[in-house]
Amino acid sequence: MKCWVCGSVNTKFLWGREFNDELVPSDFAITNDKYGKTLPLYECLDCSFAFAHPLPDNILSLYENLEDELYTESLNPRYKEMKQLLESGLGYFPGAKKILDVGAGAGLLVRAAFEKQLEATGVEPSKWLVEQAKKLFGIELIEGIVPNKILEGKKFDLVFAVDVIEHLSDPVGFLNTLKSYLTEEGVILIATPDRGSFLAGRLGAKWWHYRLAHIGYFTEKSMNEAVAKAGLKIVKHGRQNWYLPFGYLLTRLSNYLPVKSLAGLSKKFPGLDNMTIRLNLHDNLVVLLKQK
């Protein structure tokens, strides 16, 4: 087994098991809360990247058929998150006019770009999420993945891949694809869980980012390796702020803390249940990349 990032065979087994044909689209839902349930994970002892092996043959079809009603119930706070990430990209490249969002979900970042009168394109594999973007916001997304024929020859000033690269088995190839869509001065923004963070180390296999849908896990070291191999350079580091409804957050915390009764109580008070909570757990990576 070669590391997907550096190619080393110096790896060790961490945890997880094979699920063969047992997996269904809901296992890959954005709001899936079966933390610690993973495919077999291996760690590269040279670059620290962790990856799943073996992989199911039908991963793409699981994403294409994914539906997630709970995700659409929390779009308003998640929209604030996408607006902030858009601002991060524009803060580095304020003259950007054309935006590409890969793994666009229900089109929240595209929506934020439209509000700033920017030209924005989103790509999303889930047919249902593409339909939701059209239904809820009137946004037409490209249904599919990258590379994509519809995008051939097109260039963008800012390319976003928020919580995407951890779902892919060829992260370096993915970065090369994103690079192919950049204008000369264009910038890529990547956001992904950081398995080298304090909380990841503290929680081990119970860390909330260890889930079936995630098949590749970065640290700063392995991210630097992947970026360099793709002929890119990191120009800025950051951490992602999360915006979540209070009730949703309490329900997730009940996996770790005795707050289940509070989560049930909050449901009786819609104003409290839907109140947006901003938090930064410093357990993810946000990197802005440019061509070398």
pLDDT value for 134: 98
262 located within any domain = yes
Number of domains in the chain: 1
The dihedral over CA atoms of 7, 9, 12, 16, expressed in degrees to the nearest 10, equals: 60
The whole-model pTM stands at 0.96
256 located within any domain = yes
pLDDT value for 259: 83
pLDDT value for 64: 97
63 located within any domain = yes
2 located within any domain = no
pLDDT value for 62: 96
Domain ranges, residue 145: 11-291
Phi, psi of 237 (to 5 degrees): -110, 155
How far, in whole angstroms, is CA 40 from its chain's centroid?
Answer: 20
Task: Round the CA-based radius of gyration of the chain to a whole number and report it.
Answer: 19
Greatest pairwise CA separation for the chain in angstroms: 54
6 located within any domain = no
Q: Provide block-wise average pLDDT over 10 residues at a time, the chain (292 residues).
A: 96 95 94 95 98 95 96 95 98 97 98 98 98 98 98 98 98 98 98 98 96 98 98 97 92 88 82 92 97 94
Burial of 155: CB neighbours in 10 Å, binned 0-12, 13-18, 19+: middle
74 located within any domain = yes
Tokens of 90: 């524009």
137 located within any domain = yes
34-79 per-position pLDDT tens digit: 999 999 999 999 999 999 999 999 999 999 999 999 999 999 999 9
pLDDT value for 246: 92
User: CATH number for the domain including 165?
Assistant: 3.40.50.150
Sequence-ordered list of residues with C-beta below 8 angstroms from that of 230, at least 6 positions apart, any chain: 172, 175, 176, 179
DSSP string, 223-270: HHHHHHHTTEEEEEEE-PPEEEEHHHHHHHHTTTSS-HHHHHHHTT-H
pLDDT value for 169: 97
167 located within any domain = yes
